[in-house]
Structure 1
Amino acid sequence: MNQPVLSVLMPVYNAEKYLVESIESILGQSLEEFEFIIIDDGSTDSSPQIVQSFTDKRIRFYQNGTNLGISTTLNKGIELAKTELIARMDADDISYPDRLREQYQYMVAHPDCALLSCWVRVIGEDKEVIRVDRFAAGYHYYNMAFISPMYHPSVLYRRSAVLEVGGYAQKYAEDYALFWALSRKYRIYNVEQVLLDYRVSSSSLHQVLRKQEYETAHAEQVLGNLRYYMGNEYQLGPSYLACLSHNFGPLLQENSVQQIVECLKQLETINEKIFTKPNVNLDLRAVKQAAISKRNFIISYYTQHLGYGQKVGLLLRTGSWRILYRTLRDSLNLRNSLTTENT
């Protein structure tokens, strides 16, 4: 085997249903010079036997004696890695053939970048396409304050940088916490190509099995992020915090245009701090564009889910004149159409 130029790190826990396809997607990469570290975290299904059925010498297989959890398992894998560049992979996802090559070449060409993701296609259990997430690379730094714009199995990072910030330090939302820590000190980026199929399944920890734990950890992470900009005493109501994290339901249930407007005012205050806080990733033009996009996204959601009067009120109070014009125009066209049909 040629000397590896990067390591692929995959934790496995009761993943027998999709494991073969996931492993094969890595072994079939156009870039072949890698080591493939697979760590079984105490599976009770046939996952270990499936891994052991592969004879490719690039695979380094380890088994935890008991279930240690994903953060401990990933930190173990990082310590075991022989290379500086580590690509994450999960046992139910599919990497496209050129994923490693594209990400490796970017990292070699940009030695100041410590964390790199890519666009992903989100699929269901039977590979039905749910959506394709194409996040603008220039928006990642801004968005990181409110959500994790990077899918965990899509990233490639530098081992030394991860170790320097303390590795995976959280039990839940562990990827978000790590990405945030890296983005405080190092450049982050996103390859604007779809290079991974991210599978949503009934066995997904953050989607199903530990959904509440991950949501709580995510909210705590976001509040901590905002305090980085606003100060350690900063507080934000739960429905506002959820809204800024793109969980719009709690604020919608309050059925108050005033509350939505107040939430957007909070966002404007936060934005001013983000615009002026020094960071290696701060591109002011891109950050301001990302802020406008986020504000418009929030307003667009609520105008689609509020009653007509509340919708118009929200658009007036937020100065969303273009959307207001389209809303009034569409309403007038509908009224004229109904009048024509009735005459």
Structure 2
Amino acid sequence: MPALTVLMPVYNSERFLAEAIESILHQTFGDFEFLIIDDGSTDKSQEIIHSYNDPRIRFLQNERNLGISPTLNKGIELASTELIARMDADDICHPTRLEKQYAYMQANPDCAMVSSLVRVVSENGNFVRQDQFDSRYFYYNLNFVCWIYHPTVLYRKPAVQEVGMYTAAYSEDFELFWQLARKHKIYNLPEALLDYRITDQSLHQVLKKQEYDQAQKEQLLRNFRYYAGPDYTLPDKYLACFQHDFTSLLKEQKVSSLYQCLKELQYLNQKILAKQNINFEPEAMAEAVFHKERFIVSTLVKQLPRHKAVLFLLRLGRFRQLKQLISAKLSRQKA
């Protein structure tokens, strides 16, 4: 039996599929089965897959298009190993990805899932950016946004089955990772082990953007109710702010609304800090809370008219930031 399963769903992926397959087949760690499930492709995806004769490839074909979540759940059930590494058909694994993630899971048997950072690339493979996420803050930030790139994860099959596998349409990865983090240790390797490709067919950015946006809102409320109670709710503009989209709040230009949004965030942070969890590390959590609150306040202040920025900081009692704001203004006047 192989040491792990690489699970890759495919749907009309002919453009980038060969590069994705070869990035797996050329891994420095080779003891795996490569479970590829075609979800009813109508292009040349199946032809491309059949062009490889590597014995590690295990190809299955859905009789009809099921969608990403049912296909992934099918793959999890059919995987012959406890460890499952996710892969997408338009991304590129770095050669040592599986070696490093497998070694981490072997050394940390209490960890249910390990992920990594990514290099974000364009359709043509050109570098776009590399997010500098601090791995110590992943558990806290998973309450607000899915920092974890889905095709970077390697997880334990029993833990994923225990939490119900993929259940949420358009938010399947976010929901699964959040559920895992409630009961099991998770970890992110602080290095890029995958090139994550952004294309003009990206579901969450183009084809199904409205559905994904709504799923994100529902997911956030689900997360917050875990801490604040089943009836807890928030306006959409606050939910957007917590995900660093300040458009609605800034459009209103109401200091009272900005203040109330930050008070809600502080309330939620108190609830999160009071909830014990296997991933809870007090110092890292306190730092994550500090950085999130400070980033939101600083960003809003920079985009507000000066008099409203002053009123906002006064109401929050952020006198140090108010002093910095005034000092910066005086410096500009002297210049």
Q: Which residue of 2 aligns with 1:340?
A: none
CA RMSD in angstroms comes to 1.5
Distance 1:59 1:252 in 2: 52
Aligned mate of 1:25, from 23, 26, 48: 23
Q: Which moved more, 1:289-298 or 1:325-334?
A: 325-334
Residue pair 1:36, 1:59 contacting (<8 A) in 2 also: yes
> What are the ranges of 5 or more consecutive residues in structure 1 without an aligned counterpart?
338-343
Q: Which residue of 1 aligns with 2:265?
A: 267
* Partner SS, residue 155 of structure 2: strand
In structure 2, what residue type is equivalent to 1:7? T
In structure 1, what residue type is equivalent to 2:62? N
Q: Which residue of 2 aligns with 1:240?
A: 238
In structure 2, what residue type is equivalent to 1:19? L
Q: How many residue pairs end up in the alignment?
A: 335
Aligned-pair CA distance for 1:182? 0.7
Distance 1:245 1:322 in 2: 25
Aligned-pair CA distance for 1:40? 1.0
Aligned-pair CA distance for 1:64? 1.1
Aligned-pair CA distance for 1:155? 0.7
Residue pair 1:71, 1:174 contacting (<8 A) in 2 also: yes
Aligned mate of 2:281, from 280, 283, 291: 283
C-alpha distance after superposition, 1:68-101 (max 9, x if no partner): 0000000011011111111111111111111111
In structure 2, what residue type is equivalent to 1:213? E
Distance 1:144 1:285 in 2: 17
Q: Which residue of 1 aligns with 2:70?
A: 72
Q: Which residue of 1 aligns with 2:119?
A: 121
Residue pair 1:69, 1:171 contacting (<8 A) in 2 also: no
1:159 aligns with 2:157: yes
Instruction: Give TM-score, length-normalised by structure 2.
Output: 0.96
Distance 2:169 2:103 in 1: 32
Aligned-pair CA distance for 1:262? 0.9
Distance 1:89 1:336 in 2: 56
Aligned-pair CA distance for 1:315? 3.2
> What are the ranges of 5 or more consecutive residues in structure 2 without an aligned counterpart?
none
C-alpha distance after superposition, 1:257-311 (max 9, x if no partner): 2212111111111111111112111112211111111111211221232223323
C-alpha distance after superposition, 1:166-220 (max 9, x if no partner): 1101121100111111111101111011111111111111111111111111110
* Partner SS, residue 125 of structure 2: coil
Distance 1:320 1:18 in 2: 50
Residue pair 1:120, 1:134 contacting (<8 A) in 2 also: no
Q: Which residue of 1 aligns with 2:327?
A: 329
Distance 1:323 1:52 in 2: 61
Residue pair 1:168, 1:178 contacting (<8 A) in 2 also: yes
* Partner SS, residue 266 of structure 2: helix
Q: Which residue of 2 aligns with 1:107?
A: 105
Aligned-pair CA distance for 1:63? 1.2
> Identity percentage over the alignment?
53
Distance 1:312 1:25 in 2: 53
Distance 2:320 2:23 in 1: 46
In structure 2, what residue type is equivalent to 1:234? Y
Aligned-pair CA distance for 1:321? 4.4
* Partner SS, residue 130 of structure 2: strand
Over 3 Å counting, the alpha-carbon distance change for 1:322 and 1:201 in structure 2 is: farther
Instruction: Give TM-score, length-normalised by structure 1.
Output: 0.94
Q: Which residue of 1 aligns with 2:311?
A: 313
